Amino acid sequence: MSESEVHVSLADDVRWIELRRPESRNGLTVETNLAIIAALAEPGARVAVIAGSGGHFCSGLDLKYAMRMGPGLAQNAESNMRDAFHGLIRAIRNFEGPVVAAVDGPAVGFGCDMALACDLRLVSERARFGEVFVKRGLMPDGGATWSLPRLVGVGRALELMLTGDPVEPAEAVRIGLANRLLATADFEAAARAFAARLAKGPPIPYRHIKQAVYAGLDSDLAAALDREAAGQLECLKSADFMEGAAAFLQKREPSFRGK
């Protein structure tokens, strides 16, 4: 894999991770996934954005790549799935700050699952989501059986996974699959501005909010309150809390440092 296939840049405390594989509509390989995992693990960013180039977000596994790999890919199927594909989902979830999927074009198969694993999803007018695994005689394998029901409900999630039907951008926002619909013409600029705005927020609360919300999906209220108490106590001890309070009283924007 050439470095140009996964382009990584850092600006305004935002790490922008962009797939650039136009010949496969930004299809994934073991190598691309490992590159994204490495980019997410790199220090120095408060927010990460996963995007695709050329009017496509991600078409899922690059089937031509899979055919070229032949028996070798099949022989290592389980390790590739757990390390490179499931490892990518875990890397997204383990990133301490917000991870945003900037979906400008189709997000299909594992590409859809990758977007679902992100904390937020921004979509353009040409975006669409498709859990198309069943149309290939397969089932979702990127965590969608966990994430999709929690976003849209069990009935709708089962419908999307059992039919493989696409979801258009306005419908994605309506059912909670996506957060915001942005104009295609200035999608990247708007997505970068949104991510930069997030990056100005306080990193310590971000970390605790993410941990508490995802843990809370599988626990009771008492456990949620315990997590909130522990997280809030750490926030109250931080310099960022003092900065936030001072900024409020002084009627200015806070400058959070993650300390």
257 part of a folded domain: no
Structure tokens at 82: 């757990």
User: Does residue 1 carry a pLDDT above 60?
Assistant: no
3-state secondary structure of 123: strand
Q: Is residue 113 domain-shared with residue 132, that is, in the same domain? A: yes
The span from the CA of 103 to the CA of 109, in Å, is 14
14 DSSP β-pair partners: 11, 47
254 part of a folded domain: no
User: Does residue 150 carry a pLDDT above 80?
Assistant: yes
Structural domain of residue 211, as residue ranges?
A: 203-249
Q: Is residue 128 domain-shared with residue 66, that is, in the same domain? A: yes
* Pairwise pLDDT comparison (152 vs 63), residue with the higher score: 152
Largest CA distance in the chain: 65
β strands within the chain, DSSP E: 6-11, 14-19, 47-52, 99-103, 106-108, 120-124, 128-130, 180-182
Nearest in space to 56 (alpha carbons), one of 36, 33, 26: 26
CATH number for the domain that contains residue 10: 3.90.226.10
Domain count, the chain: 2
3-state secondary structure of 179: coil
3-state secondary structure of 95: coil
CB atoms within 10 A of CB 139: 12
Residue with tokens 């501005």: 193
Split at pLDDT 50, 70, 90, the class of 69 is low
Q: Is residue 220 domain-shared with residue 178, that is, in the same domain? A: no
Structure tokens at 196: 């930069």
- pTM exceeding the 0.95 threshold for the entire prediction: no
The span from the CA of 251 to the CA of 259, in Å, is 21
Contact 208, 231 (CB under 8 A): yes
CB atoms within 10 A of CB 233: 10
**pLDDT tens profile 94-109:** 999 999 999 999 999 9
**pLDDT tens profile 192-222:** 999 999 999 999 999 999 999 999 999 999 9
User: What pLDDT does residue 34 have?
Assistant: 96
Contact 85, 66 (CB under 8 A): no
CATH number for the domain that contains residue 240: 1.10.12
